[in-house]
Amino acid sequence: LLLVGWNKRVQRGYPGPGWKNTTQQIIMSMLNIDLSFRSHTCGELRPADVGEEVTLCGWVQYLRQDLFVIMRDFSGLAQILIPQDEDKMNLKTALCDLPPESVIRVKGTVRLRPDGQENKMPTGEIEVLAESVEILNVCRKLPFEIKDFVKKSESLRMQYRYLDLRSSQMQYNLRLRSQLVMKMREYLCNVHGFVDVETPTLFKRTPGGAKEFVVPSREPGRFYSLPQSPQQFKQLLMVAGIDRYFQLARCYRDEGSKPDRQPEFTQVDIEMSFVDQAGIRGLIEGLVQYSWPVEKDPVSTPFPCITYEKAMKDYGVDKPDTRFAMKLMDISETFHNTEIEFLKDALNQPGGCIQAICIPDGAKHLKGKDHESLKQTARTQFGQEDPSLLSHLLEALDSGAPPHGGIALGLDRFLSIIVGAPSIRDVIAFPKSFRGHDLMSHAPDFVSEDELKSYHIAVNWPYIKAHIC
């Protein structure tokens, strides 16, 4: 009966047996084995553990007065008391000679700190008297100290990202990201019956608002493109009857990097069949509330709402930044007798008008390059996209497509808002620089002529060597 009931729920798009299912609990209890050769983490020890023999693993944060080693792992700090006995001199020498950030395993006994030596850190009431130590890795001299208050340039942080990630702030950001994603999956799959579907990252060039990364194939003259978003695939999944789709999707856009942009990023991609705008808004409000960290101020709903028509009329874009009162004003009368061609063409269109953001003395704030950029934008004429690029999607939409709608939530931006990070690079493990480069691995890199031959690509090497190398 249990399996029959579960099967019916799956057929209706709901999740299967819950986590507290009896069979699942039995299996998990059988798998509840120790996965590490440490008994505790550094940051979890408390006065309740006094007298217990423990094994800790972690990094040497610093040595203090040849009496203490402050040991660190992802959970926090622990003070290790170095024994001063004659028969423990080898242990003392080993610990006192270690450079910071060396990796050690310590066995010892938890004890209370002497009166007056406590502090306010979570483990500030206890210390561990070392009985044995194993040096797992001696650290070389590092380019910077692993301390949050030590200022580092962003380029240095990117170059040595594996060291930068040891900081407590970056550890917090990445672990919060993991918790956030887990809660989002739980809400979408277990509460609302969504299906997590992975879509391809090798696709074809399609019309969009940003340039796409091109990937060569072994067929002469033919290329893949990395998708800007899974937009077409999620619509095709609705045609296929998936009904409720979501994905933590990797997206790629070949454009300049900014504090809130990266050439590759993650979005919570969602699509639903038989839904209206109110349903999508309600889903997102619930998703944000459900996944919002409990230690942060709660999120109030409903979110502020503005129609597309009003947004375009007042701001000229469908995603206005309403923090600033910079609404568009109709200035058609000012250019009524203009000889500027593109303005004249706009006014001659049925219902045509000229709108602008009016800034007092704004012209003096524009630099020469800004004027040239504006002129070039005005001259640019965008041709019609080739409809054959979307033929597969158009055919699918004529094959019994249900009414559907969706949304995509930028995970990196969302998390940077939660933690108050100035850039989304602070919530991504291995981000790219402003130029889209990986300063740690030096990507993108050159490829030899022999390797390029199989892709039927020729590179002007003299030009490359003269201008880049």
Residues 127 and 184 in one domain: no
Tell me how many domains the chain contains.
3
Residues 182 and 229 in one domain: yes
pLDDT confidence of residue 467: 57
The last residue of a domain, from among 295, 330, 359: 359
User: Which residue type does 246 have?
Assistant: F
Q: What is the CATH number of the domain that holds 113?
A: 2.40.50.140
pLDDT higher than threshold 70 for residue 217:
yes
Residues 94 and 152 in one domain: no
Residues 298 and 423 in one domain: yes
Tokens of 253: 């856009």
Residues 176 and 317 in one domain: no
Kindly state whether residue 159 falls inside one of the protein's structural domains: yes
Residues 421 and 283 in one domain: yes
Residues 162 and 179 in one domain: yes
Residues 311 and 301 in one domain: no
Pairing of strands 355-356, 329-330: antiparallel
pLDDT confidence of residue 448: 86
Kindly state whether residue 275 falls inside one of the protein's structural domains: yes
Other C-beta atoms within 10 Å of 265: how many? 20
Distance, CA of 435 to CA of 28 (rounded, Å): 47
The last residue of a domain, from among 359, 375, 393: 359
- 278-331 residue pLDDT tens: 999 999 999 999 999 999 999 999 998 888 988 888 888 888 888 877 788 887
Residues 170 and 197 in one domain: yes
Kindly state whether residue 389 falls inside one of the protein's structural domains: no
Provide the residue range defining the domain that includes 354. 307-359
Kindly state whether residue 30 falls inside one of the protein's structural domains: no
Distance, CA of 198 to CA of 233 (rounded, Å): 10
User: Which residue type does 403 have?
Assistant: P
pLDDT higher than threshold 70 for residue 359:
no
pLDDT higher than threshold 90 for residue 21:
no
Residues 324 and 228 in one domain: no
Identify the band that residue 252 occupies on the pLDDT scale cut at 50, 70 and 90: very high
Identify the band that residue 371 occupies on the pLDDT scale cut at 50, 70 and 90: very low
Average pLDDT, the chain: 86
The last residue of a domain, from among 359, 375, 392: 359
Residues 407 and 293 in one domain: yes
pLDDT higher than threshold 60 for residue 31:
no
pLDDT higher than threshold 90 for residue 25:
no
Residues 326 and 279 in one domain: no
pLDDT confidence of residue 103: 97
Distance, CA of 65 to CA of 56 (rounded, Å): 21
Kindly state whether residue 121 falls inside one of the protein's structural domains: yes
- 390-448 residue pLDDT tens: 888 888 888 899 999 999 999 999 999 999 999 999 999 999 998 899 999 999 998 88
Kindly state whether residue 16 falls inside one of the protein's structural domains: no
Q: Are 409 and 266 in contact (CB under 8 A)?
A: no
| 266-283 residues labelled b (16+ CB within 10 A) or e (exposed) | bbbbbbbbebeeeebeeb
Kindly state whether residue 24 falls inside one of the protein's structural domains: no
pLDDT higher than threshold 70 for residue 466:
no
Higher pLDDT among residues 133 and 19, named by residue: 133
Kindly state whether residue 255 falls inside one of the protein's structural domains: yes
Least confident of 11-25, 127-141, 170-184, 258-272: 11-25
